[in-house]
Amino acid sequence: MSSSTMNGVEVTDRRGTLKFLSVVFGYMFIALAITAATTFGFAFWFANLIVSNADNAAGIIITTMIVSGIAMLITSVVMSLTMFKQMKGAWVPFLLYAAIMGVFMSTFVMWIDAYTIGMAFGVTALVFLVMFCIGYFTKVSLSPLAFIALGLLWTVILVSIPFGIIYLVSPTAALLMNYGISLICAIAMMLIVGWDANRMSRDIQNGYVTKNLALYYASEFYSDFIMIFIHLLYLLAMAKSNN
């Protein structure tokens, strides 16, 4: 049987496991819904702003991107502190972070058509599900995936340093390099999904998980999903614009 306490849920059977997973994905889906709503809401507002106030629209959009980016960093720190210190109400900064993420994304999603956005979301959902299942149902530790993903991300950082010079020398080579960087980032985040799912599965097997731990994994999966989506959206949008 599974038992609940004020601070956590003891998982000793299938029912307790399903309860924990429902909390994790419940928070994740709520966060994604909030991000989607704020993204399209602000994108619609920006589109109208360009028509009604074209002179100031660019400045407002750029300022929104910068302010929302800084706000996300601050909110993520607050969210991490509340989760790891087992403080109540940790879901507040998490959902606030999801809303701010939507504001940030609206500044570039507004330029992309709905079909491309829908395709990127569908592909993201598919690869996320596949990698989650691989990670969750694999019995051995998948920590090597984290090292591979980290190596890929560091490779991207190092390769990106001379990007400006490459662009000046050969714009075509820089464009291909840009495609490669986005693809590598997407693959790295897919590997991290598998690693996160594997970690969560092992925590569940240990028999005791807290509510804040469920929120922690919800935030991890949410961030993984968003990062994969952004990179795939960029790849699809660039491929479409070059056709």
Listed by start position, the domains of the chain span 3-241
Question: 13-34: per-residue pLDDT in tens?
Answer: 567 778 888 989 999 999 999 9
Residue 4 bridge partners (DSSP): 9
Is the whole model's pTM more than 0.75, yes or no?
Answer: yes
Closest CA to 179 of 241, 234, 118, 98: 234
Q: Could you tell me what percent of the chain has a pLDDT over 90?
A: 44
Question: From CA 102, how far away is CA 113, in angstroms rounded?
Answer: 17
Strand partners, 8: 210
Per-residue pLDDT tens digits for 145-191:
888 988 888 887 777 776 666 655 666 666 777 788 888 899 999 99
CB half-sphere exposure, 89, CA atoms < 13 A = 3
- Interatomic CA distance for residues 232 and 238, integer angstroms: 10
**If you write DSSP's letter for every residue of 68-114 in order, what string do you get?**
HHHHHHHHHHHHHHHHHTT-TTTHHHHHHHHHHHHHHHHHHHTTS-H
What count of residues does the chain have?
Answer: 243
